[in-house]
Amino acid sequence: MKEAWFPISRRRLLRGAGAALGLPWLEAMQARAAALPSKPPVRMAALYMPNGVHPEMWTPEGEGRDFKLSPTLEPLAPLKDDLFLATHLWNQGSRGGEGHYVKISGFLTCTTVTKTLGVDLNCNGISMDQVAAQRLGRHTPLPSLELGIHPVTTGVDKNVGYTRVYGSHIAWAGPTNPLAREINPRLVFERLFRAQGPQADTAKQDALLLDRVLDGARDLRGQLGSTDQRRLDEYLSVVRSLEQRLERAGKPEEIDWKPRAAWKPDVRPTDTPKDHAEHVRLMMDMIALAFETDTTRIATFMFSNEVSNQNFAFLPGVSEAHHSLSHHENNPDKMRQYQLINRWHIEQYAYLLNKLKSIREDGVPVLDNSMILFGSGLRDGNKHDPHNLPLVLAGKGGGRIATGQHRVYSPDTPLANLYVSMLDAFGAPVERFADSTGPLPGALA
């Protein structure tokens, strides 16, 4: 957005920022060579769509291997063999709570977030992507990548008593640690780049600097009360983890696989996508880039913040905003438009899947080594209900996911069971996750 009276001119800003991109990436890439396992690692992403779906246009017809995609899922037809479709999963933890906030912030945690305008912010769990990142994140330059389109929504929602922070986060590193997202494609690119190939001596200097600063911060800790100590511990832990990452850079023994794709500096994207559609596509490109270069193996992405009123009039036949259409009141015209918006999201998902399918490593599509989840925290936006959630999982997860089927489970099977199976396929198996009752039968090959 242009700001006529902003005291700093745009050009000046651009001149100042993001200069140091001349870093040589080659040494770092080569340092990661040497005798490593040859089997490519499994990648995992979760794509979150706000505001639910048109319930009658979602569920595929038929069960097992012989199924027919619904109108909303139809853009995935060429990828039918790569899909694992699960019907009747629900997120028990997100039952109750007025409005959307409980649904979205608990989507990957399967817990009930605490109702608060801020003071008691707590998801009461950890998101499944962060379980994976904490177990295996050390093998890649970035443990995980959190992406979105819009900045955190302004304000608190006094109507329902929740801070809008909840509506803007799906990744939680811990009960009180929602993970901030990057929303600017160029910054994502630069972050991936810096993580991939930090100049060895810069990294060393930065690590030294942080080490000294951490020393000072520890002295400070003793002067603080317990709540303040917790906040400072948050600081200590993020700074410490950056320091460790910088120290690790250039130590190939931590790396367990050498990516087959070289870094492509020419794909550097724009700061200012021309519209919502381009913005989303660029973020999809960044996920694909991060996966093929093995900069991270774990990503989460939010198409928009929950309760988003994104204008979808750019779609033929749509004239209203997203959230208002989701409260369709069973009006046929609103439901028709709502479905078109759902379908558009599926098309973007298909774009990412196709992209990952077209990139090959050792003769195999990256998609075959990935698990890309698409979903929403509620089914019918008019009802706000977390039963029978709209979910698609795509990619064979390194041969672990039994794709090419639509499974219909008994009503109210925990969504957490799917996460248990996904974590298993990812190589970070867990006994239990939140309200899980076991792995999801039939999900694993």
Partner 1 sequence: MRQRQPYWILGGVLLVSAACAAQEPDFAGVQKILRQNCLACHQGKAPSGSFDVSKLRTEDSLTSEARRWNRVVARVRNGEMPPKNVKALTDADHEHLTTWIESTLRHRACADGITPAPGPIRRLNRNEYASTVRDLLNVHFNAARDLPADGAGGEGFDNAAETLFLSPIHAEKYLEAAKQALDYGVRDPRSRAAFITQGPSDKLTPEQAAEQVVSGFLPRAFRRPVTKGEVDRYLGLFRTALARGESYDGALLFAMQGVMVSPNFLFRLPFPNPSAQPRLAESYEMASRLSYFLWGSMPDQALFDLAAAGKLQDPVMLKQQVGRMLRDVKARDFAERFVEQWLGTRELGRDIKPDAQLFPAYYDEEVQSAIRYEPILFFQEILAENLPLLNLIDSNFTILTNKLARHYEIKVDKLSQQPKRADLPENSHRGGLTGMAAVLAVSSYPRRTSPVLRGKWILDSLLGTPPPPPPPNVPELKTENDGGPARTLREHLELHRANPVCAGCHSRIDPLGFSLENYDVVGRWRTQDAGKPVDTRGQLPDGPTFEGPAGLKSVLMTRKDLFVRNLTTKLLGYALGRGLGVEDSCAVDAIVAKLKENEYRSHILIEEIILSVPFRYQPGTQAGLAVEGSATVTASGGQKP
The yes or no reply on residue 12 touching partner 1 (CB under 8 A) is yes
Nearer to partner 1, 202 or 404 (CB): 202
- What span, in angstroms and rounded, lies between the C-alpha atoms of 372 and 277? 20
Among 257, 310, 402, 408, binds partner 1 (CB under 8 A): 310
384-403: contacts with partner 1 (CB under 8 A): 384-385
The yes or no reply on residue 217 touching partner 1 (CB under 8 A) is yes
14-33: contacts with partner 1 (CB under 8 A): 16-19
Nearer to partner 1, 227 or 410 (CB): 227
- What span, in angstroms and rounded, lies between the C-alpha atoms of 123 and 56? 31
Among 86, 89, 173, 356, binds partner 1 (CB under 8 A): 173
Nearer to partner 1, 308 or 421 (CB): 308
Nearer to partner 1, 39 or 218 (CB): 218
Minimal distance, residue 319 CB to partner 1, in Å: 6
Minimal distance, residue 174 CB to partner 1, in Å: 10
The yes or no reply on residue 163 touching partner 1 (CB under 8 A) is yes
The yes or no reply on residue 54 touching partner 1 (CB under 8 A) is no
The yes or no reply on residue 154 touching partner 1 (CB under 8 A) is yes
Nearer to partner 1, 278 or 385 (CB): 385
Among 88, 115, 139, 260, binds partner 1 (CB under 8 A): 115
221-280: contacts with partner 1 (CB under 8 A): 223-225, 227-228, 231-232, 234-235, 238-239, 241-242
- Helix H, strand E, coil C: the string for the chain is CCCCCCCCCHHHHHHHCCCCCCCCCHHHHHHCCCCCCCCCCCEEEEEECCCCCCHHHCCCECCECCCECCCCCHHHHHHHHHEEEEEEEECHHHCCCCCCHHHHHCCCCCCCCCCCCCCCCCCCCCCHHHHHHHHHHHHCCCCCEEECCCCCCCCEECCCCEECCHHHCCCECCCCCECCCECCHHHHHHHHHHHHCCCHHHHHHHHHHHHHHHHHHHHHHCCCCHHHHHHHHHHHHHHHHHHHHHHHCCCHHHCCCCCCCCCCHHHCCCCCCCCHHHHHHHHHHHHHHHHHCCCCCEEEEECCCCCCCCECCCCCCCCCEHHHHHCCCCCHHHHHHHHHHHHHHHHHHHHHHHHHHHCEECCEEHHHHEEEEEECCCCCCCCCCCCCCCEEEECCCCCCECCCEEEEEEEEEEHHHHHHHHHHHHCCCCCCCCCCCCCCCCCEC
74-93: contacts with partner 1 (CB under 8 A): none
The yes or no reply on residue 150 touching partner 1 (CB under 8 A) is yes
- Count of positions on this chain that bind partner 1 (CB under 8 A): 94
- What span, in angstroms and rounded, lies between the C-alpha atoms of 371 and 135? 17
The yes or no reply on residue 99 touching partner 1 (CB under 8 A) is yes
321-380: contacts with partner 1 (CB under 8 A): 321, 324, 327, 329-331
Minimal distance, residue 388 CB to partner 1, in Å: 15
Nearer to partner 1, 59 or 296 (CB): 296
Nearer to partner 1, 72 or 304 (CB): 304
The yes or no reply on residue 5 touching partner 1 (CB under 8 A) is yes
Minimal distance, residue 311 CB to partner 1, in Å: 4
120-149: contacts with partner 1 (CB under 8 A): 121, 143, 146
The yes or no reply on residue 182 touching partner 1 (CB under 8 A) is yes
